[in-house]
Amino acid sequence: MTELPTLTKRRLQAQVIGPIYAEMVEHIGEAKASEILNAAINKAAIEEGRYFAAKTPGGVGSMADFIKLYELWTADGALEMEVLEANDTTFNFNITRCKYAETYREMGLGKIGHLMSCNRDGTFCQGYDPRIKLERKHTIMEGASCCTFRYRWEE
């Protein structure tokens, strides 16, 4: 089965999530709507991580397998990245252009883009392999000039 490029998937999801989120804000307020959206997206990210882990040899991921997944996330020029280090225990890079952020802004959803995409990055690892940890201090989605991804493998 061929996977959709992730940017395409996120755009389709945003077309559904945007109006639902707007309706929730109207009825229960922005803070509660954001809390619910964040919880739902986190659960979906964990499940997606489990799905991709199950597709690895023996159902057990590695940092090398994880790095290969970035082909889905960068497909169609969705991300421009500068890889700093990539090995069996570390995957460090900076994103210098993010079409996810651009897409959400174009759709009028820039305010919740971090909930729909950025928050998935570390949470995905919980489902894929909880030994992979993400530290990120900056994102383009929230106004920085680049996103700082620092993944590490912890036994």
Whether 118 and 41 have beta carbons less than 8 Å apart is answered as: no
Position 101 in a domain: yes
Parallel, antiparallel, or unpaired for β 147-153 and 132-135? antiparallel
Q: Is the pLDDT of residue 107 over 60?
A: yes
The domain that holds 143 is classified in CATH as 3.30.1380
Label residue 1 by pLDDT band (50, 70, 90).
very low
Provide the strand spans (E) within the chain. Answer: 79-86, 90-98, 132-135, 147-153
* Average pLDDT score, the chain: 94
Position 40 in a domain: yes
Position 123 in a domain: yes
Q: What is the pLDDT, as a whole number, of residue 4? A: 84
Find the angle CA(49)-CA(68)-CA(153) to the nearest 5 degrees: 65
pLDDT, tens only, 4-43: 889 999 999 999 999 999 999 999 999 999 999 999 999 9
Task: Name the residue range of residue 47's domain.
Answer: 6-153
Whether 125 and 43 have beta carbons less than 8 Å apart is answered as: no
Q: Domain count for the chain, please give it.
A: 1
Q: Is the pLDDT of residue 2 over 70?
A: no
Parallel, antiparallel, or unpaired for β 147-153 and 79-86? unpaired
Position 140 in a domain: yes
CA–CA separation, 54 and 132 (whole Å): 16
Interval 138-146 mean pLDDT: 95
Position 1 in a domain: no
Interval 64-85 mean pLDDT: 93
